[in-house]
Every structure is written in structure tokens, then in C-alpha cells.
Structure 1
Amino acid sequence: MIVVFGTLNVDLVIVVPRLPAPGEGVKGGDHQLFPGGKGGNQALAAALAGARVALVGAVGGDGFAATALAGLAEAGVDLSGVARSDRPTGLQTIAVDPTGENLMTGSTAANADASPQALAPLLGPGVTLLTQTSIGLRAVETAIALARTAGARVVLNAAPAIPPAEATLAAVDVLIVNAHEAASLAEALGLPGEAMAFAVAAARRFMATVVVTLGPRGLVAATPEGDRLDGAPPEVAVVDTTGAGDALIGAIAAALDRGAPLEIAFAEGLAAGSLACRETGARSSFASRSAIGRLAATIAIRRTTGGAA
């Protein structure tokens, strides 16, 4: 079982001819509202990838709450841990250019009231906690400490790249970041900034499997034993990259939760992330387990063992 502790938002998406520079206004066409937030996105992605999932977070009492939760219950996600806040539901504004690249700004709002203490009855051996720093650093550190005490596996998506305490990172089993986040964490932690070098150094320092995603170049990873893994995604027609990282992370967590080896987990993650780029929006673009499995079968993940030169 996967327990997700994370944000729930409404995404306001505007397609623009190009992303604006600082201080510049760029007009786009029609806007669209989508359910979003890394917590909700990764919970849905993990459920669609075949995992049993419970979500702990918070939404407001406003009209955006239903949008933020859309699709989750239908996919089988347990929402009993989602609290109602007096604050408005979280909101993210996203500008998307013709290549699918995006620019985001967001409001924390009700997400600030998500309580890590609500995780306690859900954690235990055989459970995977999946969380992200976007829910708040103090809350994440508490959540990870609770999970470690309960004997649960911990998967941390350090997005944004605000470094948790060293003791928190040492309690993580799998750390997942993108290349920009890896570079930021590397600077803060005194580690090398190049993606594979960061993964190797961080894996050794924190005794965790460390994954760095590289967008269209795939991912690299390192294990505490010194193994190195890498793989490239298949080519797809990119419409919108929003949510692709969340799809990848949810699929990796689902595979690890069912006991799959890293090679399969990473192939399924790359497949899920690639498939999520084909449509506008985050959750609306997530693929089923069968679609993920078919595409994952075409993806090769290379492993170099720690003893190799």
C-alpha cells in the first residue's frame, strides 16, 4: 500500500505562444481548469499504475475543492485522510508554450493545513510513504520521522529543492529529483552538481537510492551499494509536460511497492512520464497500468554494478 502525503491544487492552464520573461506579459488563448497538486497527481498516478493508495492532504470548503479531488476516488484512492480547511483550495497557474514547456506559480492555501499526524494510523511495515517537499519542509520531516518509526518505506520527491535536515535524508529509502533540483541540493549539501555524480555521492552519503530525472534524456540513478542505472524514454509527440514528473514518480513508487526491481520500476516510470506528455493537463493525461506496461517493455535500463570499473 502507498500512503501519499502531499498537496492538492487546481491548475489554471493557459497556452501561450512563448513563455514570458521576468516582467513581461504574454497573452494566450482560452484557459482550462484541471485538478493538480503533486500529492493528488502522484496518488492518482500510483493508483493507475496498479497500487492501493491512500491520500493525506487538505482542501478548502470552496468550489475548487471538488476539482482538486477529481478522478481520485474513481481511481480507487482512499480520500478519508483529506481534511477540509477554512483556507481556500490551493491554486497553481501554468503557462504552456507550443513545445510543451511550462512556467508555474502557485498558492499554498489549504495545503498549509495538511497534518502529518493524520498519517500515523496508516503507516507500518509493508507500507510506502510517498511525499514531496511542496507540502512544507517541517511537515515532510515529521511525516518521514513517523514513517521511519513505523517501519514504512519512504520515497521523497524533493520538489522544490529545499534540503531537509540530514537526519531526514538519511531516513529516506528513495530520493527523486529532477536535474535542476539536483543541482540546487548539490550546492546546499556540498555535493557534485552533475546528475550522475550527484546521485552517486548522495546515495553514498544518505544510504538511499537516488534518482535524477532528465526530461527527454530519461533518468540516472545510483544505489547505496554503488550501482549506477540509466535509461532513456521513448519518443512521443509532446503536447504538455505538466504532470509528467508526477506520473513518473507515481509509477516508480507503485512498482517498488509491489516489489519490482529497480530496472522495471524505472522503465515503468519513464513510460508513464512519456505517456503523460501527450495531452494538456496533469492528471487527465495519466495512463493506465496496461499502457504503461506495454511501453515499459520497450525501454532498456542499464545497470553498472558497484564493482565495475
Structure 2
Amino acid sequence: MSLLVFGSAVVDVIFRLPQLPRPGETVLGEAGPPLPGGKGANQALAAARDGAAVRFAGCVGADAHGALLRATLQQAGVDTALLAQSDTPTALAAVCVDMAGRNQIAVSAGANMRARQANVPVAAGDTILLQMEVPPEENAALIARARAAGAQVILNLAPAAALPREALSALDLLVVNEHEAGWLGAALGCGAGAAALHAALGVTIAVTLGEAGAECHGAGLALHVPAFPVKVVDTVGAGDAWCGVLAAALDRGAPLPAAMRRANAGAALSCTKAGAGPAMPMAAETDALLAGQA
């Protein structure tokens, strides 16, 4: 079993605000220290903390932010041999979080746009996890190579962006949230539900629904997995926790319904802590929540 995450690494600066800014509005609040984030790095952290053997491939700058991200991944046991370094600055995100835990995020892509898949090894039996904060053409090329090699390929279409239809149809699993599902349904000319997206693309579709849980449709498969109620601090890393924990469980050979239930638990736990990378739960925390809800 081997899990490879190809994707973004971003340093987050989190602004705690009484309410999220409206267009043209300035809202005063408090900013915290730089924290490790980015959908790729977050998902790699979540998978490693859930017990997976994880390799991370991407690109950071030759700066303090890049060093922070590399060290954070290594401390979690992630293999960073495939994490390249560029003269382009490390990606940076401004994360605004209101009193209810809702968020708005602006990202400077930086070195993530230098991530390249050509030297990323793939083999039969690997699980490959991707997102959309690196060049789409690199994702499409890696999906094609991974499919040809016999790897299991999971794409989190976040943030929503275009990929060739043949790349989407080559996936084993496509993960979207409600907003991304709406965007994709409009692009494909179909509905936004998991069943409609599955019918359009012919691959298994998982749609995360926040406090309503998650639904999934695939060949002979239709299920809804409820969420775990928790006291929310912020939701910044919830989707990344979901994807990372899910990929770790699938890489261990868990059936999809069980993997989705574990992913729901991991995502719920991430909402009880501030930040993105630092909020990814440990396996023991997820085990305890699952045991309490058995």
C-alpha cells in the first residue's frame, strides 16, 4: 500500500473577524502566526496522521514559508523527497474566519504553479490523491499515467476548475462539495447531485454536504453517510481532512462506505480546532469518535 498526494502547499495566515467582509468593506480583527496549509499538504497530513504511508509531490519556494511546510510534513512522517523547490515564492493564503466558523479564502498560488508530475513515480496498487491548486494540465497528465499504471486515482475537484472530460472519466473516485458539484453539473449540462454526475461521467462520485454528511453514487452503489455533530471552531480544513482520511482508509483496503464514515469523523474533528494543517486529526482521535458513535 502506498499513498501519493500530488498537490499544493500553502502557508495560511488566519484572520479572526466578527463577520466576513462584504464587497468594499474593511473588517478589523486579529491575525495569527503563519500556519501550514494548502489542499495538497493538508490532505497529506490528514492521511499520514490517520496512519497511511504518504509521499507528497509538489513545489515550494526557497524561503522560510517553504521550510515551514517541508518541516511540518516531515514531522508528520510524510516523505517529502518529491517536494521540489523553486525560486518562485511559496504560496500564501489569507483566511478570514467569522464568529460562526464560516470562512473566505484568498490564495496567491506562487510555487504551486511550478509543480510538475513528470518525475512523480506511479505503480500498480498505488493510491493517487489530487486537488486543483496546481496546473490542471499536470493533473490531467498524472491521471492518465496513473490509470495506465493500474493505480487507484482520487481527485478532489477543489477549487472547481476545468479538466478534460477524458481525465475526469479516468478517475476511480471524484470528490466535490456542494458548490463544486453545482459548478461541475453546470459545466457538464447535468444535475448537481452525485447520481447525476455519476451518470454523466461514469465514475464514482462523492459529494460532501457539510453538516448533512456525504453522499456517494457509483456502479451499483448509492449511499448517504450522516455527519458527526461537533462544536465548530472553524471549517477551514474540513474538506481536506475528509479527503485525506478517506484516501488513507481506501489505501488500507477499507470498503467505500466504511471509508466515508471514517472521513466524516475526521472532517468533524478538524472543525473543532483552529486552522487547516494543524487541525488534521490523529488516528486515535478518529477511532475514539467512531467508537463513541457505534
TM range, normalised to the smaller chain? Answer: over 0.9
In the TM superposition, 1:204-219 aligns within 5 A as: 204-219=199-214
AA aligned to 2:213 is G
Q: Distance in 2 between matches of 1:295 and 1:263?
A: 17
- The answer to whether the Cα contact below 8 Å between 2:190 and 2:200 also exists between their aligned partners in 1 is no
Show the counterpart of 2:186: 187
State the one-letter code of the partner of 2:47.
Answer: A
Amino acid corresponding to residue 283 of structure 1 in structure 2: G
Match in the other structure for 1:136: 135
AA of the residue aligned to 2:126: V
Q: TM-score, normalised by structure 2?
A: 0.96
Q: Which moved more, 1:210-219 or 1:25-34?
A: 25-34
- Aligned match of 1:164: 163
Distance 1:10 1:253, change over 3 A: same
Quote the offset at 1:202 in angstroms: 2.1
The separation in 1 between residues aligned to 2:165 and 2:281, in whole angstroms, is 35
| 2:217 is the alignment partner of 1:222 | yes
Number of the residue aligned with 1:69: 70
SS in 2 for 1:181: helix
Does the CA-based 8 Å contact 2:45-2:76 persist in structure 1? yes
For the pair 1:286 / 2:283, whether they are aligned, the reply is no
Structure 2 SS opposite 1:73: helix
* Residues 112/212 of structure 1: CA separation in 2 closer, same or farther (3 Å cut): same
Which amino acid counterpart does residue 281 of structure 1 have in structure 2?
G
Partner AA of 1:110 in structure 2: A
How far the C-alpha of 1:299 sits from its partner, in A, is 5.3
Matching residue of 1:256: 250
Q: Which amino acid aligns with 2:20?
A: L
Aligned counterpart, 1:32: 33
Please, which runs of 5 or more residues in structure 2 have no aligned partner? Answer: none
Other-structure match for 1:13: 14
Matched with 2:289 is 295
Q: CA deviation at 1:216?
A: 1.2
Percent identity over paired residues? 42
Aligned to 1:305: none
Distance 1:167 1:33 in 2: 38
By how many angstroms is 1:293 displaced?
A: 2.0
CA distance in 1, matches of 2:293, 2:197: 26
Equivalent-residue separation in structure 1 for 2:119 and 2:200 (angstroms): 30
Contact 2:13 2:31 in 1 (8 A): no
CA contact (8 A) 1:56 1:118 kept: no
Give the aligned partner of residue 239 of structure 1.
233
**8 Å contact from structure 1 (residues 231, 299) kept in 2:** no
Secondary structure of the residue that 2:197 maps to in structure 1? Answer: helix
* Dislocated runs of 4+, deviation >3 Å: 297-300
2:138 and 2:97 map into 1 onto residues whose CA distance is: 30
User: Equivalents in 1 of 2:159, 2:215: separation in Å?
Assistant: 19
Residue 146 (1) aligns with residue 121 (2): no
Letter in 2 for 1:15: R
Deviation for aligned residue 1:204: 2.9
One-letter amino acid of the structure 1 residue matched with residue 201 of structure 2: F
- Between the aligned partners of 1:108 and 1:149, the Cα distance in structure 2 is 29
Query: 2: distance between equivalents of 1:160 and 1:257?
Result: 24
C-alpha separation between the residues in 1 aligned to 2:260 and 2:281?
16
With 55-64 and 198-207 compared, the bigger mean Cα shift is at 198-207
CA contact (8 A) 2:191 2:197 kept: no
Give 2:147's aligned amino acid.
Answer: R
Name the SS of the counterpart of 1:140 in structure 2.
helix
Q: What's the offset of the Cα at 1:31?
A: 2.6
Tell me how far 1:298 sits from its aligned partner: 5.0
Aligned to 1:102: 103
8 A contact 2:175–2:208 mirrored in 1? yes
Change (3 A) 1:299 1:182: farther
